[in-house]
A and B are shown apart, each in its own frame.
Chain A
């Protein structure tokens, strides 16, 4: 009953979204605010309606209503309450509803913001958002319906995919969805600014914080996904260039390029066309990314099942791209740059280079991902490219981006001074050389990792010095102590130092990724009970295998005990208990690794197989140096976002906002 009410609510939300499109556009055309307001209210209403739909489905999941096909597919009588709740996004149909819920949540807040000053844009913002939402609701209702029922309900369901029973999997999809759908707000602002010919900085100022939120969620989603893969998939890694991973990385790269070039428009009135282009591209890549996972067009280990959504998504992307590009082209005359790029050797020049590299990296990842589709369409055979393609083409471009992060803050606007740049680089270069010397002494001798470490370390020192320089200047003028000066410095210019903090996070990540990528060890060994093998500096003694109670009701667990000691002096490093959970109903086995080692070097052990009740067993051992820096880097990036974002929203009367609005109004009037 409650489930049916939820279903009805989702149908109503679809109707409301269509109504909102019509009412907004009608109101804009007739200049009738009543219709615009009505459309706004209808748009805001989609969130509570879809929420009611989600509650309906949650109700079916919690009460075990296996008459609903989706419930039977993702839960069973044995499924614990917590996982019944997260099963809402455990499979295709429910996750699209969840996607719609999060997207409508963003729309809800965007609709409730005070629109008094920016009213002309409102109907177009509403219509854009509602068109996109209506498309996804259409899919939810007519193609992938989670409320569909069996004619004859089964007595029990299949249970949640065991791989999804992990904390990382519980928060990773919501984060990623929030990242993806969060971009809808800046996209709608961009379209509205083109439609109303208010193509100045206003839309950038209005959408900056929304963009940052989407970006931060996407970043968190990427890192949590890596962590989940590391913990659950039992392969010791964190990133495998799988299509499902790539589809999140592409919007991240384009969105990051946008965040940077938006600064140039704000500061120098340049790159206006470029920013519109990047925004449209960001959102198109979001829809493309969604299509990749959901349509089953690409072979991937963890994509959703084969489905018939591919053509629908393709049609939607084409319509959206053609329509927004046409709108953009018809407004090209209003997007003239206020300043010229005088010299490539300037802050603007570096930003442009960085933007081009972000886009070419995104293009590389995109082409690699869709290569099998392209080759099949063009030549009839599917050709896939593997991780070496990405490592050889995308990674070098990312490495240059890391270096640019160190150089860009030193460059002046307009035209930079080479001598000043050289002077400021002496200390970080010296520190980098010193660090490289230390690395060579401790045994890092390969050229490529040394180069990558050098780039990262240079940028690390350069960024730290940037903080130090600012704090020193404050200490000099105000007489504050170092911590106080540093704190006030960061609070006075949160955007700038938040940005640098994100840069630090990227560098920390890059150092971790280089360490893990080039110095990780991976071996597979079969050991008899009480025998010892040596891998790297560690000795592993297999102490036995036993059955232990499983975490869930529907599985059985076998756990091995392995003692890890230091191979050089015999001191104990730790004990690991890797295990295998077998799920008879789902015919699935989960390999749960156990880790020990130190913070700087992870020892990751997997129980791969055993024979004769455990007389011998096979273990896959991974030594992952610096892998914790990868997680730390992600955390620092999110902290940096917090600093850049966490400020009272700029009030409507704030000088910069006021200026932008006046300029915008003046521009529109001059137009007429």
Chain B
């Protein structure tokens, strides 16, 4: 192949890689757990512009929902272990979400929330359709285990 073709395609590839790098810098979300985010926050870093993908376990009796204004908030703790064993003392983050309360939002559900940490210490979910994802793997596993016994 002639050198000019190689150069031409090289330029195209470099342009695309550069485009990728810039876009990733602007649109990436760091995956963190509740304790990681709290640790970062306590260091005094300014996190208000950073988008996080926050994972934690839902505390059932913290769920507050107003259907008329679609205001939903709930607390997350770091792990299932904390939820079961020392819920009273476990560090929490309050998540604020604007939208319909999903049916899968319940005690012990695992939540993955994409959003930003507000200056009031609450975590504000973004408004993309997958800003609040919920999984209840434990329920399924328990049901399966129960079916097997």
Which A residues lie at the B interface, using CB under 8 A?
66, 69, 72-73, 150, 152, 154, 156-158, 235, 237, 240, 299, 301, 305-306, 341, 344, 349, 352-353, 356-357, 360, 363-364, 367, 371-372, 381-389, 392-393, 396-397, 524, 526, 582, 585, 587-589, 608-609, 611, 616, 618, 620
Contacts and interface: CB of A to CB of B under 8 A. Distances in A.
A609 B23 CA distance: 36
Contacts of A385: 23-24, 27-29
29 contacts: A72-B144, A72-B148, A154-B148, A157-B147, A158-B143, A158-B144, A237-B129, A344-B4, A349-B5, A352-B9, A356-B12, A356-B13, A364-B16, A371-B24, A372-B31, A382-B30, A384-B53, A385-B23, A385-B24, A386-B29, A387-B128, A393-B16, A524-B70, A524-B99, A524-B100, A526-B70, A587-B143, A611-B67, A616-B68
Contact of A235 (B8, B32, B129): B129
Contacts of B5: 341, 344, 349, 352
Contacts of B27: 385-386, 388-389, 392
B130 A240 contact: yes
B83 interface: no
Q: Interface of chain A, helix or strand or loop or mixed?
A: mixed
Contacts of A383: 28-31
Nearest to A344: B5
Contact of A381 (B31, B128, B133): B31
Given A387-B128, A397-B16, 11 more contacts: A72-B147, A237-B129, A301-B130, A349-B5, A357-B12, A371-B28, A385-B29, A386-B29, A585-B143, A609-B101, A611-B67
B12 A381 contact: no
Contact of A384 (B26, B31, B70): B31
B70 to A, nearest CB: 6
B136 interface: yes
B109 to A, nearest CB: 10
Contacts of B1: 341
A496 to B, nearest CB: 26
A240 B147 contact: no
Contact of A386 (B128, B144, B147): B128
B113 to A, nearest CB: 12
B9 to A, nearest CB: 5
Contacts of B140: 158
Nearest to B4: A344
Contacts of B4: 344
Interface in B28-49: 28-32
B67 A360 contact: no
Chain B CB within 10 Å, residue with most, of A353, A363, A393: A393
B144 A73 contact: yes
Given A387-B128, A618-B100, A587 B31 contact: no
Contacts of B143: 158, 585, 587
Contacts of A611: 67
B137 interface: yes
Q: Which 4 A-B pairs have the closest CB atoms?
A: A382-B31, A608-B100, A589-B103, A154-B147
A427 B88 CA distance: 74
Nearest to B12: A356
A389 B133 CA distance: 20
A524 B127 CA distance: 12
A397 B12 CA distance: 11
Contact of B2 (A341, A589, A608): A341
Given A341-B1, A344-B8, A356-B12, A152 B148 contact: yes
A582 B104 CA distance: 11
B131 to A, nearest CB: 10
A329 to B, nearest CB: 18
Nearest to A388: B27
Contacts of B104: 587-589
B59 interface: no
A384 B28 contact: yes
Chain B CB within 10 Å, residue with most, of A72, A344, A609: A609
Contacts of A150: 148
A389 B23 contact: yes
B87 interface: no
B55 to A, nearest CB: 9
Contacts of A396: 19
Nearest to A582: B103
B125 interface: no
Nearest to B29: A384
B85 interface: no
A339 B27 CA distance: 44
B90 interface: no
B114 interface: yes
Nearest to B146: A154
B20 interface: yes
B112 interface: yes
Nearest to A301: B133
Interface in B52-69: 53, 67-69
A526 B67 contact: yes
A156 B1 CA distance: 66
B149 interface: yes
A305 B149 CA distance: 21
Nearest to A236: B129
Contacts of B53: 382, 384
Interface in B98-130: 99-101, 103-104, 112, 114, 128-130
A386 B100 contact: no
Chain A CB within 10 Å, residue with most, of B8, B16, B30, B143: B16
A154 B145 CA distance: 10
A210 to B, nearest CB: 29
A230 to B, nearest CB: 13
A388 B23 contact: yes
Contacts of A158: 140, 143-144, 147
A134 B145 CA distance: 31
Contacts of A397: 16
A173 B82 CA distance: 39
A305 B139 CA distance: 13
A391 to B, nearest CB: 9
B97 to A, nearest CB: 12
B12 A360 contact: yes
Contacts of A384: 28-29, 31, 53
Nearest to B8: A344
A299 B104 CA distance: 17
A305 B140 CA distance: 11
Contacts of A357: 12
B114 A386 contact: yes
B142 to A, nearest CB: 10
A525 to B, nearest CB: 9
